[in-house]
């Protein structure tokens, strides 16, 4: 995804054309918007030569906080306001998917970092937000590829939840996905996750989100009848 930032005068700037210059610039960003030490430590470990990861991390932070963002652009510091996704799950319900992916009879989980929209520090299934125009199945394939490097075949939906978490409201779908090709890429979107690991079904970490625990439980008790979710036009 390419994020678009709304800037003074209603012009738009492509995030790929924005550069963060130095650690001191980062410190000024956090000081300006009074972002606490938890977030400082999260971003201090991201190298500046990893341009995509660093800027993605800043965007995730801004989206989560609904804050203005200061970015060094050329020879001066400029201020922007992120417009995309601020209301999803907050002012209006959001739609999200989680995907159960197995390898060697183990389930893939991801530990969420301080940039996550919610459930920071918990293990969760790979997944993400459904974008306008994408089907649930499109989102499964896209999000899994973006977060893990795996190409998966969508097998079906095993559960649907009304997810009321941290004053947010999400409609959450749990899908099964079968790995077609690829290897687990620990560097993909690593600003969003502290760790990515496969776990045996009887060794799921204690600090796993309740939503993921319920989804795995539904999978373990799955009777083979996927939930039918037709597309109506």
Residues 168-213: pLDDT tens digits? 889 999 999 999 999 999 988 887 888 999 999 999 999 999 999 9
Architecture of domain 94-220: Alpha-Beta Complex (3.90)
Q: Using alpha carbons, list the distances in angstroms from residue 167 to 61, 65, 89, 153, 211.
A: 17, 13, 9, 33, 15
Residues in the chain: 233
CA distance to 99, 127, 150, per residue, from 181 (Å): 16, 18, 6
pLDDT tens digits along 84-97: 444 566 667 889 99
The pTM is what?
A: 0.66
- Residue ranges of the domains in the chain? 4-82, 94-220
């Amino acid at each position: 995804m390419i994020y678009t930032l709304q800037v003074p005068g209603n012009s738009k700037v492509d995030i790929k054309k924005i550069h963060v210059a130095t650690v001191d610039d980062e410190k000024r960003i956090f000081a300006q918007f009074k972002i606490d030490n938890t977030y400082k430590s999260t971003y201090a470990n991201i190298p500046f030569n990893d341009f995509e990861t660093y800027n993605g991390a800043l965007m995730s932070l801004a989206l989560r906080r609904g804050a203005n963002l200061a970015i060094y652009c050329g020879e001066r510091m400029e201020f922007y306001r992120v417009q995309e996704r601020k209301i999803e799950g907050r002012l209006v319900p959001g739609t999200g998917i989680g995907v159960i992916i197995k390898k060697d009879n183990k389930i893939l989980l991801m530990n969420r970092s301080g940039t996550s929209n919610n459930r920071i520090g918990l293990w969760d299934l790979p997944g993400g937000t459904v974008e306008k125009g994408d089907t649930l199945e499109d989102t499964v394939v896209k999000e899994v590829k973006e977060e893990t490097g795996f190409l998966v075949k969508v097998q079906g939906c095993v559960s649907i939840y009304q997810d009321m978490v941290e004053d947010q409201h999400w409609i959450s779908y749990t899908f099964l996905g079968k790995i077609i090709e690829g290897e687990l890429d620990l560097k993909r979107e690593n600003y969003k996750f502290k760790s990515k690991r496969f776990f045996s079904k009887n060794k799921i970490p204690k600090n796993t989100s309740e939503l993921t625990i319920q989804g795995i439980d539904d999978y373990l008790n799955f009777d083979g009848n996927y939930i039918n979710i037709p597309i109506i036009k």
